[in-house]
């Protein structure tokens, strides 16, 4: 018994220091980025490396949370760096303003004196207004010196003005960048909160949601291959009705998922659609937003709500196949269910399995590799 206890003590004596060392290394790795100076480039690079490392690991809920945390910390570091740049730039701009004011005052006062002397700048007039030749030569040289000084002063003033305008432009650019970074940080925090709310911090639920997103992609890919040709349609023609097909596996409620592909690659629909004010229902605080810069009319009638935009959204984490990007607009019309073609083309329709459900998909081939898709239709 004593021998056994002795062996246990020896093993513990070896393992505890080893465990402490390993734990210390893990903690050091976790805190390595946080220990860097706030807003430093090294801190930003550290979090970028951490994100790259995490993205290559298996898709688990804990890994996804770790990625969100690293992304939030990275954006926070970028905000600190941008704020530091703005503060430094503000100091330089204040100095330039002071220098510019001083040069402007100096130039204004010198301009008056130069004008007075220039009135006697002609050699003949100098001779007439001077009592002797030496005095005339002295006054002429003085005028030349003053004019040269004025040219130098003018160059300094113009340079200071150019620098000031340049610094102000840079300040405005940095401020716009800072505003965007703060919006990104807010969205990243919302995305993490949404992840925890949607999965209820459960690994099984997380994997189910990833599988549903992959099933929807597979259904779209199959539809593009096996879609049944309906025929040519014109802009404004009705092509389908908004529905909820694919529920519950691949749809959460009645809406239109509108997507555009160019050469089989997802693209933002906004540059194709006409500018329109729609209700932002994604979870960004509500209110209206104006979106669109193209010539296509929107496929559904006003008033329109967008429940999920294209790109990074609070829900797009599940679209791992697209790099975490929602590939279209999720839209709802409060007036009617009719979906109309935004441009001429050839209409196709398809029904595909999506998990345990069936999803109905319509799409229009507009030619030249451009396709618009309409999901969850009736």
Contacts of 294 (CB under 8 A, 6+ apart): 270, 271, 272, 273, 274
Note the pLDDT of residue 17.
Answer: 43
Note the pLDDT of residue 109.
Answer: 60
pTM above 0.85, yes or no: no
Q: Which residue has the tokens 């513990």?
A: 12
pLDDT one-digit tens code per residue, 206-246: 998 899 999 999 999 999 999 999 999 999 999 999 999 99
Note the pLDDT of residue 106.
Answer: 62
Note the pLDDT of residue 112.
Answer: 58
pLDDT one-digit tens code per residue, 133-158: 566 566 666 666 666 776 776 677 67
Ranges of the chain whose pLDDT falls below 70: 1-31, 92-147, 150, 153-154, 157, 283-286
């Amino acid at each position: 018994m004593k021998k056994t206890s002795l062996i246990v003590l020896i093993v513990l004596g070896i393992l505890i220091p080893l465990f402490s060392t390993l734990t210390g290394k893990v903690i050091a790795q976790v805190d390595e980025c946080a220990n860097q100076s706030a807003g430093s480039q090294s801190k930003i690079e550290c979090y970028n490396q951490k994100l790259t490392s995490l993205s290559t690991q298996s898709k688990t809920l804990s890994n996804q949370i770790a990625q969100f945390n690293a992304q939030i910390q990275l954006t926070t570091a970028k905000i600190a760096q941008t704020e530091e740049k703005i503060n430094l730039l503000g100091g330089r701009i204040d100095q330039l303003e002071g220098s510019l004011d001083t040069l402007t005052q100096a130039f204004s006062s010198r301009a008056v004196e130069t004008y007075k002397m220039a009135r006697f700048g002609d050699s003949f007039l100098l001779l007439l207004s001077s009592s002797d030749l030496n005095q005339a030569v002295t006054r002429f040289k003085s005028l030349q010196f003053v004019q040269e000084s004025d040219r130098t002063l003018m160059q300094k003033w113009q340079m200071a003005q150019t620098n000031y305008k340049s610094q102000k432009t840079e300040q405005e650019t940095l401020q716009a960048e800072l505003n965007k970074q703060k919006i990104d940080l807010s969205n990243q925090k919302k995305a993490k909160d949404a992840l925890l709310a949607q999965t209820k911090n459960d690994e099984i639920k997380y994997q189910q949601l990833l599988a549903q997103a992959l099933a929807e992609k597979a259904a779209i890919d199959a539809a593009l291959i096996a879609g049944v040709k309906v025929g040519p349609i014109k802009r404004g023609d009705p092509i389908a009705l908004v529905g909820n097909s694919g529920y519950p596996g691949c749809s959460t409620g009645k809406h239109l998922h509108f997507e555009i592909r160019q050469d089989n690659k997802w693209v933002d629909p906004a540059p194709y659609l006409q500018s329109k004010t729609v209700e932002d229902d994604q979870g960004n605080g509500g209110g209206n937003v104006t979106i669109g810069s193209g010539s296509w009319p929107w496929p559904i009638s006003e008033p329109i709500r967008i429940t999920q935009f294209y790109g990074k959204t609070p829900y797009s984490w599940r679209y791992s196949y697209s790099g975490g990007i929602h590939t279209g607009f999720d839209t709802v019309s409060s007036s009617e269910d009719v979906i109309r073609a935004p441009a001429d083309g050839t209409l196709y329709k398809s029904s595909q399995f999506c998990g345990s459900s069936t999803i109905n998909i319509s799409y229009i081939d507009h030619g030249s590799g451009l396709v618009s898709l309409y999901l969850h239709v009736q």
